[in-house]
Amino acid sequence: MSKVAFVLADDYEDSEFRLPFEAVRDAGHEITVIGIEKGKEVKGKKGKDKVRVDATAKDVQPGDFDALVIPGGHSPDKLRMDCDIVAFTRAMVEAGKPVAAVCHGPQLLIEADVVRDKTLTSWPSVKKDLQNAGAMWVDREVVVSGNLITSRKPEDLKAFNRELLGHVGAASRR
């Protein structure tokens, strides 16, 4: 099975973490939650969901993982201020590993400078940022562009999870 990293900080969109996390876990893959401070409990923006950070980006190597998931909410905006998480994200993309971002998640992809000439989607408020960074933005529930998988919002998670699991499964067969 594959090893999947989830990057997370406070105020993540609860369902955009929880539903992909459960789908990946239930498919039998190993998950590591990476954040800014190892051992810290981060909270979803609705205040009900809590997750303990397993490691920082300094504690792990991109080669340790087969895929990366970036949930939305305010978390990506906080994560993009951490140069180690940005470098980890960039390395995962450049290694050709599946990197899945939902809602505001592409903010971290923009900071990692990996969206140029890619077709992506996101929450509408991230559209102009993606375009300014050289991406083509489309309004679809899920978009696959190379090894990047993006979705717009919680209502798209069924399609997002389907693509994520398909790509994670392919990564585990390499």
DSSP string covering 75-130, please?
Answer: HHHHHTT-HHHHHHHHHHHHTT--EEEETTTHHHHHHTT--TT-EE---GGGHHHH
Q: Point out the catalytic residue in the list 103, 108, 112, 115.
A: 103
C-alpha distances in angstroms, 156 versus 15, 19, 55, 108? 11, 11, 28, 19
**83 annotated active-site:** no
What does the alpha-carbon distance between residue 90 and residue 79 come to, in Å, rounded to a whole number? 13
Q: Which two tokens stand for residue 84?
A: 């180690």
Q: Decide: helix, strand or coil at residue 132.
A: helix
What does the alpha-carbon distance between residue 32 and residue 28 come to, in Å, rounded to a whole number? 13
Q: Outline where DSSP puts E strands in 3-91.
A: 3-7, 30-35, 41-43, 50-52, 55-56, 67-70
Asked whether the CA dihedral 34, 35, 40, 46 is positive or negative, the reply is: negative
User: What amino acid positions are annotated as catalytic residues?
Assistant: 103
